[in-house]
A = this chain, B = another copy of it.
Amino acid sequence: MESETQAGPAGAALPLPPMKWDAWGDPALAKELSADVKALLAAALGVTGDAAPGPGADEVLLHPSRLTAEDLKALAAVVGEAHVSAADADRLPRAGGKSTPDLLRRRSREPQDAPDAVVLPGSEDEITALLALCAERRIAVVPFGGGTSVVGGLDPERGGLAAVVSLDLRRFDALLDLDETSGEAVLGAGLTGPAAEALLAERGFELGHYPQSFRFATIGGFAATRSSGQDSAGYGRFDEMVRGLRVVTPAGVLDLGRAPASAAGPDLRELFLGSEGTLGIITAVRVRIHPVPAAKAYEAWSFPDFATGTAALRAVEQQGTGPTVIRLSDEAETMVNLAMTEKIGGEPAVTGCLAVTVFEGTPEQVAARHELTRTALLAAGGTSLGEAPARAWEHGRFNAPYLRDSLLSAGALCETLETATDWRRLSDLRFAVTAALTEALPGALVLCHISHVYPTGASLYFTVVAALGSDPLTQWAGAKRAACDAIAAQGATITHHHAVGADHRPWMTDEVGELGVRILRAVKAELDPAGILNPGKLIP
């Protein structure tokens, strides 16, 4: 849908990915920075001017495709001529993801890396044939869904092979089954969040997975990266929604998940959830669904400080009072209104720390969950702010990433990173990461919130804004390294929902140990002996 309205490079032979090639999202939804934000940038960071604009799509230089005419003919023999292209206009929009380093690279006027061709297979058999062809011709394969990776998961790395192609899954866009009795649907991997929800809504059902990338990211991408949505308190992480999946690997096809639960050995679904295209291509996912909620309620809260708010969220989650959304901004994030994108940088709308709660379900469920949660939050020291701030958060919930592009154009570097740990260690973790970022980027604004809660712990999500230096890629790389080192030293996870990609790969050994890495390599060697699947990602 989005692709038809977006301004993409001219001359594309294939349908375009849903996101703009050099920025987040749909250009129609991008906004100028408000006067408030500009004032904040000037006051906090001394950023006043505009950065030099990047090149237009037709000005970008790509390294020429390394594929021969014979290679392209062989690819076309598998997927059909209409579904393969080595045109720059098709390669550029799949040149990478949407991290700040990605966006900075897209703005370069030097020759850029891009996949050597794009292929759009239409069936599992075509994927099987493509993988065999690529193994034979030593061509790496980067699976492509919505293109929303912020961890370098789409970098067109060849891994020592002759070339690399982008395997775009957009043709896997069907609702393959809907079982109303069991509350399950089988969704094609290439369906975007909105496309999947639209198909389910026709039958009165909902998936309820709303990560910030929702409008563009795909079902296969959600599974391959262990995505977590803003409604995770109510509906779970995406990996918890997965009842089964189909994966095409160079060694054959897997169809995993025979029951809602099983004791038949290791759960092999859990090897492919989070596999990031390194072990196989996910083509279809069987997910848990629920009826479209009939009722909804909102309430925002203020807490005197982050520690008090954290304890309140913990009480709610450990008591199981049932909010669908629950999140808490720290003092700094609250002060700049980051949770309400239309008010960012304006007069602080809330003092202390803002928390947002949303409740969904039947009217009875909503009433009961709201009341229990309310009681717990009041007991924990919260002050109700009524509905408005919670509705404002929801209204702008997918818009924050657009800001990054505008900030970059205004001369400010803005990036996010996230982690998770047990409740006991959450405060220490927040201080350690904040200290690492502040030391690496003196004068930077470091904002933090909790957006995903579990009985035993929670996630921390950091937003960093700093004045753009003369070498922003190196500038951010240093800050990112410092933050990741701090996370690893604290014993927390290197990523709660952004995945590993290329950017977190140096910390995978901290995460799973050397033996854990050996296990991943052994599985990869069995499934992908030629090493064609997404080289340079996830597995060190």
A: residues with CB less than 8 A from B are: 179, 181-184, 225-228, 237, 239, 243, 249, 251-256, 258-276, 279, 288, 290, 314, 318-320, 322, 362, 364-365, 368, 372, 419-424, 452, 454-459, 491-500, 504, 508, 511-516, 518-520, 522-523, 525-527, 538-539
Contact = CB atoms under 8 A, between A and B. Distances in A.
Contact of A420 (B237, B259, B497, B515): B259
A60 to B, nearest CB: 31
Nearest to A362: B319
Given A455-B288, A516-B254, A516-B268, A263 B424 contact: no
B266 A272 contact: yes
A491 B258 contact: yes
A461 to B, nearest CB: 12
Nearest to A226: B263
A522 B520 contact: no
Contact of A243 (B272, B456, B498, B538): B456
A362 B527 CA distance: 49
Given A256-B512, A519-B526, A274 B266 contact: yes
A264 B365 contact: no
Given A182-B423, A264-B494, A511-B265, A516 B274 contact: no
12 contacts: A228-B261, A228-B263, A258-B421, A259-B493, A260-B454, A260-B458, A261-B493, A262-B494, A265-B274, A265-B539, A266-B271, A290-B455
B264 A274 contact: yes
A138 to B, nearest CB: 23
Contacts of A498: 263
A186 to B, nearest CB: 12
Q: From A225, A259, A514, name the one whose CB has the most chain B CB atoms within 10 angstroms.
A: A259
Contacts of A266: 270-275, 279, 520, 523
A511 B492 CA distance: 34
A236 to B, nearest CB: 10
Given A265-B508, A265-B538, 6 more contacts: A239-B267, A252-B513, A259-B496, A261-B459, A261-B496, A319-B362
Contacts of A272: 266
Contacts of A182: 422-424, 456-457
B500 A263 contact: yes
Contacts of A251: 515, 518
A111 to B, nearest CB: 32
Contacts of A452: 261
8 closest A-B pairs (Cβ-Cβ)?
A270-B270, A260-B454, A259-B493, A522-B526, A226-B263, A260-B457, A182-B422, A262-B493
A254 B368 contact: no
